[in-house]
């Protein structure tokens, strides 16, 4: 496991380092303004989503893309001491709207000398036909990762989250992206959901192992102010899992996940701490990560040690 620098799981930083030969940081930008759920009067926002659509820097949306890259690069540079970067189109659904506008944004980002590639966040059910040639061309000329908000492979959990798509659409999207573009595929998953059993966590890992997925990003379901989940929480109808239990579930999942699949994140990070209602342990940026890694070390567990291959 020395390839992971003594980590218990395969961190995405390690993947980037072997792919690019050096440390690479992700610069988050906010350019998309909405998503299919928020755009349609017939749909509801996802139960956990705040008004900013999961943006790290929502107030920067008024700034040009170039300005956002310039100012956010400084934070990433300081934090990671990286000299090369990927631009992460993070908030809302970036494949909604005019593809020509997205193409212009791609060109703007890739014109910067220290930008090695792009990461595009979107929904599994928002990949129109016309996006595939753009993704293919972009992945051929530089690095491209598509991050899909899969969240769960169980339809009852997706309905609880009010995602507005099912597991079949995620599976279809993953296959199509793999077959028609050379993009890396990252998927977001939420743990700490109702009806979450160890059998389901294992089935999720096995499902991912069977798909052309390059990396996963894990989030605990946390409650933000002014979200539908906050209303449920206030009525006592949703109780977030404690860190101990969340760590246990993550470890069950990781032990069954292929060691070839990189991990972007082990727990949610509240972008705006003033918005966090619960659980309070999400406030600590590094603590959940260290806690989970410690638990794995104490028990001698590694990502993939129960992976059947």
Q: How far is the CB of 54 from ligand SF4 (least distance, A)?
A: 6
Cis peptide leading into 76, omega within 30 of 0? no
Task: Tell whether residue 219 is a contact of ligand SF4 (CB under 6 A).
Answer: no
Task: Tell whether residue 304 is a contact of ligand SF4 (CB under 6 A).
Answer: no
Q: How far is the CB of 121 from ligand SF4 (least distance, A)?
A: 8
Percentages of the chain per state (helix, strand, coil), in multiples of 5: 45, 15, 40
Judged by beta carbon, residue 13 or residue 54, the one nearer ligand SF4 is 54
Q: Report the 10 Å Cβ neighbour count for 183.
A: 23
Q: How far is the CB of 283 from ligand SF4 (least distance, A)?
A: 21
Q: What are phi and psi of 183, to 5 degrees?
A: -70, 145
Two tokens, residue 301? 């567990």
Reference 164, options 46, 256, 280; nearest CA is 46
Q: Which sign does the torsion angle of CA 221, 224, 229, 232 carry? A: positive
Which residues from 41-80 bind ligand SF4, rule CB under 6 A? 45-46, 49, 53-54
Judged by beta carbon, residue 51 or residue 156, the one nearer ligand SF4 is 51
Two tokens, residue 250? 């993550």
Reference 277, options 214, 216, 235, 305; nearest CA is 235
Which residues from 18-37 bind ligand SF4, rule CB under 6 A? 35, 37
Task: Tell whether residue 82 is a contact of ligand SF4 (CB under 6 A).
Answer: no
Q: What are phi and psi of 219, to 5 degrees?
A: -130, 140
Residues sharing a CB contact under 8 Å with residue 21, sequence separation 6 or more, in sequence order: none
Task: Tell whether residue 171 is a contact of ligand SF4 (CB under 6 A).
Answer: no
Judged by beta carbon, residue 38 or residue 249, the one nearer ligand SF4 is 38
Which H helix or E strand runs over 149? strand 143-151
Give the whole-angstrom CA distance, residue 145 versus residue 149. Answer: 13
Judged by beta carbon, residue 222 or residue 256, the one nearer ligand SF4 is 222
Task: Tell whether residue 124 is a contact of ligand SF4 (CB under 6 A).
Answer: no
Total interface residues for ligand SF4 by CB under 6 A: 12
Which residues from 176-215 bind ligand SF4, rule CB under 6 A? none
Q: How far is the CB of 85 from ligand SF4 (least distance, A)?
A: 24
Task: Tell whether residue 90 is a contact of ligand SF4 (CB under 6 A).
Answer: no
| Interacting residue ranges for ligand SF4, rule: CB under 6 A | 35, 37-38, 45-46, 49, 53-54, 92-93, 123, 149
């Amino acid at each position: 496991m020395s390839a992971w620098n003594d980590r218990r799981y395969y961190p995405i930083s390690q993947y980037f380092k072997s792919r690019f030969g050096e440390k690479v940081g992700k610069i988050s930008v906010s350019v998309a303004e909405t998503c299919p759920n928020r755009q349609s009067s017939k749909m509801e926002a996802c139960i956990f989503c705040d008004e900013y659509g999961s943006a790290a820097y929502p107030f920067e949306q008024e700034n040009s893309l170039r300005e956002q890259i310039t100012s956010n690069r400084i934070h990433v540079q300081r934090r990671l001491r990286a000299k090369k970067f990927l631009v992460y189109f993070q908030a809302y659904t970036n494949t909604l709207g005019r593809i020509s506008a997205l193409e212009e944004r791609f060109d703007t980002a890739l014109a910067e000398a220290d930008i090695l590639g792009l990461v595009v966040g979107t929904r599994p059910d928002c990949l129109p036909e016309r996006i595939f040639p753009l993704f293919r061309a972009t992945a051929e000329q530089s690095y491209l990762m598509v991050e899909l908000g899969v969240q769960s492979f169980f339809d009852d959990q997706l309905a609880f989250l009010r995602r507005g798509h099912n597991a079949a659409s995620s599976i279809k999207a993953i296959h199509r992206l793999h077959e028609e573009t050379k993009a890396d595929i990252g998927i977001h998953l939420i743990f700490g959901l109702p009806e979450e059993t160890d059998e389901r966590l294992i089935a999720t890992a096995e499902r991912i192992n069977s798909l052309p997925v390059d990396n996963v990003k894990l989030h605990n379901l946390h409650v933000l102010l002014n979200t539908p989940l906050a209303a449920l929480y206030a009525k006592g109808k949703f109780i977030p899992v404690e860190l101990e239990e969340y760590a246990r579930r993550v470890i069950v999942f990781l032990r069954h996940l292929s060691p070839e699949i990189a991990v972007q994140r082990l727990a949610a990070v509240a972008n705006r701490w003033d918005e966090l209602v619960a659980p309070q342990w999400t406030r600590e940026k590094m603590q959940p990560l260290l806690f989970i890694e410690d638990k794995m070390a104490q028990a001698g567990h590694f990502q993939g040690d129960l992976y059947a291959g």
